[in-house]
């Protein structure tokens, strides 16, 4: 940075700017290490689960089963497509940052004002800033006229901050966002009032917003836990199934002498034991879960967030734009005699009209400042009348460091009368009104009471003057006090109810904000968050990581927090074993959103950076949608466990019926076609039934699920094995009795196959709910189940009644008594398992 500011009339030369851009780079974030779609595809192809899908498809193709091969390969391509789309979206986060940091800029070069692209701004450039401009880079103010900027993107504070011109000797190290009367402005922020001239001190990755981008690119999103568990499960099943297949081939070839048939039998057994449908089911459930959550106006950007929702133990929420609406409103009016009025209460008494009208006149005719917009909105709603016209504004007196008030002088009529109104800090208004000590103490006490409720308090006063004799300073007017105005960023509707439901579900809500402790505590109390343990940013900076982790266990509000401190809080909570959900909408929230297990961004008011860094996006910015998402996330996980348990259960009788004939020298029951029918038709279709199941009773009264708990708990695994053994015993018994009575092999195969399918259908009813009986399950509406039953009945009818299909399956004809036996097998499966379910219920409900 230059030791002294460049002369205001000259600025950098074109050659100096070009040299700086060559040596320091453009005013944008670097694009290194960005993954292309091709690179993402290559990474996806290395996934073991996807490899199983592809190998399974190739295996079916080699066996001549083109339909099954196409179905399996189609699922593989679907998985690749979904992953590439999701990963490509996450790669756009830095691009969103670059767009935000590269607005057009008006600079002075070679003594001339030039409008250039924001990316071409260089360190040392002189930037001309006016009301409504987006600041292109971090800069030190050389001149400032009544200037205020909105730094909520970086600090989370909804109220604009005042800016002053720099004084000689200002240390660059003090240039951090947040707080009034700083002589610096920051990239990406908005000028809401006044104008100024600033010298650029940092561009691109060296700016405040750039440092956020750098930390964001260094963070890794949380890996999906279910996916990791699924990999281990599939790997174990593959190893076990491969071993059994090899053993079956050796056993069959040794005992029966036909090695070709032994190889075919081994392939059938391997297919029966390889759970290649598990990753398909996981993909389908995550996709359907994302669709269901989207109906609640929550967009899922990373499917892993769905599985984590049910495990969330801490919800870290930003205040501005998340709990509140990120817009200022007039929340309270106070007259000098102590009378008060809340605009939300109803009709406004006439005594408060002068205070409201003066507040509007003390604001800009077309305001950018959100507080001035609030004055205009209240006056329009309660008083009406024409808006003030800029042409009638004779003179404005801006804020000064020694007098934090601003005054407007308006032409009142043709006679030359002037109406003078002022608003500002209560102390400044007391000074302008020349209040005595007693009245000043009373006014400041009223202001303190409003401030304790989280309001920004302004005093308003009025005077008269003459157009030709306006004084040089505001102190030259004889002001009369009109009252105090309390402004607040209002709470979003439904927030207290959402916070209460989070508490019921065992989720601790923690507020993290850049606002002041008093304001944060007031909003927290309104939202239903206990504001008993507040940690300031200054106190947090003095803590080491261990001390912060200890304090974070009890703290409910973190106030005056900088962006890097938000990230420290999330990291500390994660290190302490918490599963962290983080909400936010600003650029300052992006690193913590990405670092959290579940990042939740606001879709309406949120920035592109926050949305791209998050896992979930609330499309309607409704905080209550978070609770809905948690509820749906728990439902998705419950139903996923039912589906996974069901798949494991049905693999036991399938594998057993493929293996037992080899061991005991009986006719081979199933070949690859039968296994393909069972796995590629019944399994995925039946999982749609479970996905559509309604939530379990008391789903939001449970504590959060332990994220380290395996998908297949011992209880669920035992229940699955028990179901499989019951079905295997029943169907094997039918097969043996049929052979003992001399039934032809083809008819025995058809009878056994039908009995197995109906037993599987029986297990669907048993597993629809862990907490309710099968009678309740029968009453529950489930359209998918109806179609599944019709589909299964139709497919069985085709295999039995269409001769070419029956020959392909090597089935013989079945009679009515045979069909009655298969129906009895399904009903008996339901009866036995329903009798056993109550003994397993506590171990099944997560």
Quote the CA–CA distance of 296 and 628 in Å, as a whole number: 7
Residues 6+ apart with CB under 8 A from 426: 443, 444, 447, 457, 458, 459, 484
Quote the CA–CA distance of 263 and 281 in Å, as a whole number: 29
Cβ atoms within 10 Å of 402's Cβ, excluding its own:
7
Cβ atoms within 10 Å of 480's Cβ, excluding its own:
14
Helix boundaries (H) for 453-536: 495-504, 517-527
Quote the CA–CA distance of 714 and 721 in Å, as a whole number: 10
For the chain, give the number of residues: 846
Residues 6+ apart with CB under 8 A from 456: 159, 328, 371, 486, 487, 488, 519
Burial of 771 (0-12, 13-18, 19+ CB in 10 A): middle
CA proximity to 768, closest of 646, 661, 685:
646
CA proximity to 574, closest of 762, 316, 332, 356:
316
Q: Which residues of 720-736 are buried (b: 16+ CB within 10 A; e: fewer)?
A: bebbbebbbebbbebbe
Quote the CA–CA distance of 697 and 802 in Å, as a whole number: 45
Q: How far is CA 712 from CA 396, 463, 671, 700, 721, in A?
A: 71, 76, 29, 22, 12
Identify whether 318 is a catalytic site residue: yes
Output the CA torsion 737→741→746→750 (10° steps).
-40
The C-alpha angle with vertex 368 and arms to 363 and 371, in degrees rounded to 5, equals: 55
**Which one is catalytic: 125, 138, 146, 318?**
318
In three-state secondary structure terms, 608 is helix
In three-state secondary structure terms, 740 is helix
Quote the CA–CA distance of 66 and 71 in Å, as a whole number: 9
Instruction: Tell which phi-psi region holds residue 253, choosing left (phi > 0), alpha (psi between -120 and 50) or beta.
Output: alpha
Q: How far from the centroid of its chain's Cα atoms is residue 759's Cα?
A: 41
In three-state secondary structure terms, 599 is strand
CA proximity to 124, closest of 19, 223, 215, 212:
19
CA proximity to 734, closest of 655, 797, 826:
826
Quote the CA–CA distance of 440 and 201 in Å, as a whole number: 43
Q: How far is CA 664 from CA 77, 251, 255, 660, in A?
A: 41, 11, 10, 6
CA proximity to 439, closest of 337, 557, 341:
337
Do residues 502 and 628 make contact, with C-beta atoms less than 8 angstroms apart? no
Quote the CA–CA distance of 322 and 605 in Å, as a whole number: 9
Quote the CA–CA distance of 410 and 390 in Å, as a whole number: 9
In three-state secondary structure terms, 491 is strand
Do residues 540 and 549 make contact, with C-beta atoms less than 8 angstroms apart? no
Q: How far from the centroid of its chain's Cα atoms is residue 544's Cα?
A: 29
Burial of 573 (0-12, 13-18, 19+ CB in 10 A): buried
**Catalytic residue set:** 318
């Amino acid at each position: 940075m230059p030791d002294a500011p460049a002369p205001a009339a000259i600025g950098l030369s074109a050659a100096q700017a070009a040299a700086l851009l060559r040596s320091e780079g453009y005013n944008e974030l670097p694009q290194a290490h960005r993954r292309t779609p091709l690179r993402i595809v290559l990474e996806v192809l290395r996934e073991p689960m996807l490899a199983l899908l592809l190998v399974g498809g190739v295996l079916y193709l080699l066996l001549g089963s083109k339909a099954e091969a196409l179905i399996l390969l189609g699922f593989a391509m679907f998985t690749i497509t979904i992953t590439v789309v999701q990963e490509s979206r996450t790669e756009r986060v830095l691009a969103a940052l670059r767009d935000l940091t590269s607005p057009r800029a008006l600079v002075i070069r070679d003594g001339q004002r030039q409008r250039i692209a924001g990316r071409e701004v260089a360190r040392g450039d002189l930037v001309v800033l006016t009301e409504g401009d987006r600041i292109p880079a971090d800069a030190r103010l050389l001149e400032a006229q009544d200037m205020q900027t909105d730094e909520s993107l970086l600090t989370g504070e909804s109220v604009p901050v005042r800016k002053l011109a720099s004084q000689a000797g200002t240390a660059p190290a003090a240039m951090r966002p947040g707080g009034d009367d700083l002589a610096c402005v920051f990239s990406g922020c908005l000028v809401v009032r006044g104008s100024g001239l600033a010298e650029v001190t940092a561009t691109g990755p060296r700016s405040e917003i750039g440092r956020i981008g750098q930390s964001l690119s260094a963070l890794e999103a949380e890996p999906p836990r279910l996916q990791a568990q699924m990999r281990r499960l599939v790997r174990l099943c593959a190893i076990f199934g491969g071993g059994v297949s090899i053993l079956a081939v050796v056993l069959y070839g040794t005992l029966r002498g036909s090695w070709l048939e032994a190889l075919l039998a081994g392939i059938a057994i391997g297919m029966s034991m390889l759970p290649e449908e598990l990753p398909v089911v996981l993909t389908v459930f995550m996709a359907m879960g994302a669709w269901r959550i989207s109906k609640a106006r929550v967009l899922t950007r990373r499917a892993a967030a769905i599985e984590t929702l049910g495990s969330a133990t801490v919800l870290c929420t930003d205040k501005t734009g998340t709990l509140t609406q990120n817009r200022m409103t007039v929340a309270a009016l106070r007259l000098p005699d102590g009378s008060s009025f809340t605009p939300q209460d109803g009709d406004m008494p006439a005594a408060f009209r002068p205070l409201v009208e003066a507040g509007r006149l003390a604001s800009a005719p077309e305001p950018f400042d959100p507080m001035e917009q609030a004055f205009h909105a209240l006056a329009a709603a309660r008083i009406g009348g024409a808006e003030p016209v800029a042409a009638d504004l004779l003179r404005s007196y801006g804020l000064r460091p020694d007098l934090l008030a601003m005054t407007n002088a308006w032409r009142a009529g043709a006679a030359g009368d002037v109406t003078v109104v002022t608003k500002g800090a209560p102390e400044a208004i007391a000074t302008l009104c020349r209040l005595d000590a007693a009245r000043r103490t009373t006014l400041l006490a009223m202001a303190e009471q409003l401030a304790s409720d989280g309001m920004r308090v302004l005093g308003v006063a009025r005077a008269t003057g003459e157009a030709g004799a306006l004084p040089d300073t505001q102190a030259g007017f004889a002001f009369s006090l009109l009252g105090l105005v309390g402004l607040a960023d209002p709470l979003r509707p439904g927030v207290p109810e959402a916070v209460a439901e989070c508490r019921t579900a065992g989720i601790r809500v923690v507020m993290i904000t850049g606002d002041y402790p008093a304001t944060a505590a007031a909003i927290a109390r309104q939202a239903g968050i206990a504001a008993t343990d507040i940690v300031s940013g200054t106190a947090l900076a003095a803590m080491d990581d261990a001390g912060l982790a200890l304090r974070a266990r009890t703290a409910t509000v973190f106030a005056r927090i900088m962006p890097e401190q938000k990230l420290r809080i999330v990291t500390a909570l994660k290190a302490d074993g918490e599963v962290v959900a983080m909400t936010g909408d600003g650029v300052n929230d992006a690193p913590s959103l990405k670092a959290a297990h579940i990042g939740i961004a606001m879709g309406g008011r949120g920035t592109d950076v926050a949305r791209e860094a998050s896992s979930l996006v609330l499309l309607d910015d409704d905080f209550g949608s978070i609770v809905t998402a948690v509820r749906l996330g728990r439902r998705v996980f419950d139903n996923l466990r039912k589906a996974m348990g069901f798949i494991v259960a049905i693999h036991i009788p399938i594998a057993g019926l493929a293996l037992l004939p080899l061991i005991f020298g009986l006719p081979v029951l199933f070949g690859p076609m039968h296994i393909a029918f069972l796995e590629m038709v019944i399994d995925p279709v039946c999982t749609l039934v479970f996905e559509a199941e309604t939530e379990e009773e008391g789903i939001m009264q449970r504590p959060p699920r332990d994220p380290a708990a395996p998908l297949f708990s011992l209880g669920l695994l035992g229940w699955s094995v028990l179901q499989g053994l019951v079905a295997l015993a029943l169907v094997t018994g039918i097969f043996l009795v049929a052979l003992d009575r001399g039934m032809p092999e083809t008819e025995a195969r058809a009878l056994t196959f039908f009995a197995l399918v109906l037993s599987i259908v029986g297990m669907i009813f048993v597993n629809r709910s862990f907490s309710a009986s099968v009678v309740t399950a029968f009453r529950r509406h489930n359209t998918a189940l109806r179609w599944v039953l019709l589909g299964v009945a139709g497919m069985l009818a085709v295999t039995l009644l269409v001769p070419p299909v029956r020959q392909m399956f090597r089935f013989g004809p079945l009679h009515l008594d045979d069909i009655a036996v298969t129906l009895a097998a399904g009903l008996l499966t339901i009866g036995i398992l329903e009798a056993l379910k109550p003994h397993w219920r506590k171990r099944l409900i997560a």
